[in-house]
């Protein structure tokens, strides 16, 4: 949440220089979990396990088709049908509702990346 307001920057991967959508997700996972994720949203979409929309939990990754190709945008689900993301040029990291028609029409799926919080206890 401390990244809300950080400017979007294509290819950006640090709050100091700006963040694009995958840079934002990568930064959060690296800082919070010490987990390195791939660079693009399409690559990130291949990780973890698929999650049905009705089973989303905070921390799950949500993917959207915003550039006429699958998994071209990614954000982090917060609960209550809201997600946080770095949207596009001229924008900044913000929280939005997945109920907005724009996001509803472009939803591609969700993935759960195993973290220390959701890992099975006997691994």
From the candidates 8, 26, 85, 98, which is the catalytic residue?
Answer: 85
Q: Is 73 an active-site residue?
A: yes
From the candidates 73, 106, 111, 112, which is the catalytic residue?
Answer: 73
Q: Which two tokens stand for residue 5?
A: 């307001």
Q: Is 49 an active-site residue?
A: no
Q: How far is CA 110 from CA 17, 100, 121, in A?
A: 28, 17, 23
Classify each residue of 67-100 as buried b or exposed e, where b means 16 or more C-beta atoms within 10 Å of its C-beta: eeeebbbbbbbbeeeebbbbbeeeeebbebebee
From the candidates 19, 21, 25, 37, which is the catalytic residue?
Answer: 21
Q: Is 85 an active-site residue?
A: yes
C-alpha to C-alpha distance for 24 and 53, rounded to whole angstroms = 22
**DSSP for residue 82:** E
**Number of Cα atoms under 13 Å in the Cβ half of residue 60:** 21
> Active-site residue numbers?
21, 73, 85
């Amino acid at each position: 949440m401390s990244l809300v307001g950080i400017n979007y920057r294509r290819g950006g991967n640090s709050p100091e220089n700006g963040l694009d959508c995958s840079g934002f997700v990568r930064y959060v996972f690296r800082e919070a979990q010490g987990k390195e994720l791939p660079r693009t949203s399409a690559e990130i979409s291949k990780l973890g396990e698929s999650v049905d929309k009705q089973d989303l939990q905070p921390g799950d990754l949500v993917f959207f088709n915003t550039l006429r190709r699958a998994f071209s945008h990614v954000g982090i689900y917060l609960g209550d049908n809201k997600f946080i993301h770095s949207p596009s040029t001229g924008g900044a990291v913000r929280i939005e509702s997945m109920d907005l028609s724009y996001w509803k029409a472009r939803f591609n799926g969700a993935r759960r990346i195993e973290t220390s919080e959701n890992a099975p206890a006997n691994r």
